[in-house]
Structure 1
Amino acid sequence: MYFPPNDATTWTTKTPASLSWNESNIPALLNYLETKNSKSFIVLHNGKIVMEYYFNGHTNSSAWYWASAGKTLTSTLTGIAEQEGLLSITDKVSDHLGIGWTSAPLAKENLITCKHLLSMSSGLDDSLGDDVSPANLQYVADAGTRWAYHNVYVKLQDVVAAASGQTWENYFNGKLKNPIGMTGAWIPNGDLSVYWSTTRSMARFGLLALNNGNWNGTQIINTTFFANATSTSQNINEAYGYLWWLNGKSTYHLPQTQIQFPGELIPNGPDDMYMALGKNDQKIYVVPSKKLVVIRMGDAADGSNFALSDFDNVLWEKINAVIN
């Protein structure tokens, strides 16, 4: 496995031909990406860049937002804080933030653990918008009994900051960003901050994920936590781990609905794929069986969306035509 140096802009490449990929289908893939408002696209195999393309004026030095793909950064930092003994994911959130961080009755608030925030099963009302002030965090169901895609996960950043005695960004920089050579910054956006970086920095994090939290011999996040993060985290939405989406499950739930859908999230995608998915089609796809990391940044491919869209399945049809 190759890891790009942390202190350099160089990144070793390999050709599609060296992997016996079908190069004749690459133009169709790139055309699809460009017509679907993409800004960048990277494919890593065993850590080396096989494909790297930029569209619509974007360059390798341009920053773009991760949107909810950055939830996986929060998951990872929570795991790092746990391995350092600063918290346990079974802790009540109120152990770190104090009581009254929600508007739920105290007995119900005290049911909510860090793991519930990681797994989107806090039981808080997801229909009240993005505001995560106490007044907007209202009880709907007991923690662990209802899955709902909700910005309340961002409270984990406050938990990590309180537990570490550092600002969220300082802890993030010291424990994850700098050790794997990422660039970028958390930019305030309403009640939460959104991570912005180059596409290669997103690819670095994807490579860390492909290697189960190990970066060139250094275990950044322990393998047990990472394995749990990329496995089904609760018994309601099979396709959700600790802020990671999971392919290859028999059923799934989507943001903004309580409906259970049959089948896997991305039928054309590999069954073992786990994903960081952000609003308007920000994508990190990690495929251990194929040793692949695939990154897509850009504007929404079609209409605005929260994480998943039809674009995922068509994109994987185009990718499969190249790699299979």
Structure 2
Amino acid sequence: MNSSKVYSLLLLFFLIFSFCSKKDNEEEIIVVEPTEKIYFPSITTNTWETITPEDLQWNLNKIEDLKTFLSEKNTKSFIVLYNGKIVIEEYFNNHTSTSNWYWASAGKTLTSTLSGIAQDENLLNIHDKVSDYLGTGWTSATLEKENLITCKNLLSMTAGLDDSLGDDVSADNLKYVADAGTRWAYHNVYVKMQEVVAKASNTTWTNYFNTKLRDKIGMNGVWTDIGSLNVYWSTTRSMARFGLLISANGKWENTQIVSENFINEATNTSQNINNSYGYFWWLNGKPNYHLPQSQAQFNGELIPNAPADLFCALGKNDQKIYVVPSKKIVIIRMGEAAENVNFALSNFDNDLWEKMNDVIE
């Protein structure tokens, strides 16, 4: 065979090989798993799409066990969302879908979110001193020590003020214990962040909340003064709407309500003392945690039975918002204390997640 024929055959072989290789590569690029779109309920009606547990291949028998457990644990309402759609919605003990109930400290996350919205609008900066907005003398600390306290210290519970003096947040009751940022303590001084937002936005806290958050995602609810605290009350579905907003990184359909950057900050460790705390959000999957009214460090995860990427809003007497990105689920629980009166975390969290794992895994 002469050299020209050999060359022609080699060229033909090369072209065929190149074509096949290119085709194979193109097929690999084309095969992409579709992304399931998050569902958002209407903000003008109470309609909400559902998805059945059967569709998700959840264990139906274990759902009945879960409902029994919830009823026995003084639950008033319980909702599970998957990718925005309702999978489970149950009401107990004469509570209904139109009944309002208090969020307790789970509502701190509303304050965090409004702070983020105000920062997004360049009305405030969480790294600024609190006194930049409230003026000096809002605590009884010296001016030097007071000026160490930033808005971020309020959001992360590191203001360095005495947490043993009760709920009163008047200046006389806000006493210096440690420099801001050096001590984590669960403290009602967080409500000062609501004053900061009101001052920065030149309106009332309630008006700013309603126009910038509540009405934009179709929530109901009202703020009620209980002593020095401002407590939110709403239906369970309204709490679920808020949980859905956060799970969607601050976006509602095509509208960014609060920036994704702020949500990322709020739902990750916010300081170097309590690894399991963001900006009023509790974080699972960390090596240790602190609890209210204690300076002790507890080793291990916050809720061992729950997914490691879970973050949550925890309120007195077991008001709960759980968000689990890896599972695409949001869970809401409202009611009386499951067992004993508690400030945030309780045994109920771990027990509930044992039941949930039986349902979804």
Give the deviation of 1:98 after TM superposition.
0.5
Q: Deviations over 1:153-174 (max 9, x none)?
A: 1000000000000000000000
In structure 2, the residue matched to 1:188 is: 225
Alpha-carbon distance, 1:289 to partner: 0.4
What is the aligned counterpart of 1:271 among 308, 311, 314? 308
Q: Residue 129 of structure 1 is aligned with which of 166, 172, 176?
A: 166
1:17 paired with 2:54, answer yes
C-alpha offsets along residues 216-255 of structure 1, whole Å, 9 cap, x if unaligned? Answer: 1111000111100000000000000001000000000001
Alignment-mate amino acid for residue 62 of structure 1: S
Counterpart residue type for residue 273 of structure 1: L
The alignment status of 1:305 with 2:342, answered yes or no, reads: yes
Output the CA distance in 2 between the equivalents of 1:201 and 1:312. Answer: 21
Letter in 2 for 1:127: S
- In structure 1, the gaps of 5 or more residues are none
| The one of 83, 87, 105 aligned to 1:46 | 83
Partner SS, residue 210 of structure 2 = helix
Matched, 1:226 2:226: no
- Tell me the amino acid that sits aligned with residue 93 of structure 1: V
Secondary structure class of the residue paired with 1:41? strand
State the match for 2:175 in structure 1: 138
Give the AA of the match of 2:287: S
The answer as to 2:123 corresponding to 1:86 is: yes
SS of 1:53's equivalent? strand
Q: CA deviation at 1:193?
A: 1.2
Q: Distance in 2 between matches of 1:301 and 1:136?
A: 32
Structure 1 residue 167 corresponds to structure 2 residue 166: no
Question: 1 CA distance for matches of 2:114 and 2:201?
Answer: 11
1:205 deviates by 0.2
Query: The residue matched to 2:193 in structure 1 has which SS?
Result: helix
Q: 2:141 matched to which residue of 1?
A: 104
Paired letter, 1:5: S
- The two structures have a TM-score, normalised by structure 1, of 1.00
Alignment of 1:280-299 (within 5 A): 280-299=317-336
Per the alignment, residue 40 of structure 2 pairs with 3
CA distance in structure 2 between the partners assigned to 1:79 and 1:20 by the alignment: 37
Moved over 6 A (4+): none
Count of residues in Structure 1 that have an aligned counterpart in Structure 2: 324
SS, match of residue 238 in structure 1: coil
Letter of the 2:289 counterpart:
Y
Q: TM-score, normalised by structure 2?
A: 0.89
1: distance between equivalents of 2:179 and 2:91? 46
Equivalent position SS for 1:52: strand
Match of 2:282 in 1: 245
Kindly provide the CA deviation profile for residues 178-223 of structure 1, in whole angstroms up to 9, marking residues without a partner as x: 0000000001111121000000000000000100100011110001
Which structure is higher in helix share? 2
- The secondary structure found in structure 2 opposite 1:18 is coil
Aligned partners of 2:170 and 2:227: how far apart in 1?
Answer: 11
Match of 1:114 in 2: 151
Q: Which 5+ residue runs of structure 2 have no aligned equivalent?
A: 1-37
Q: Equivalent of 1:56, from 93, 103, 110?
A: 93
- Which residue is equivalent to 2:19? none
Shift of 1:62: 0.2
1:213 alignment counterpart:
250
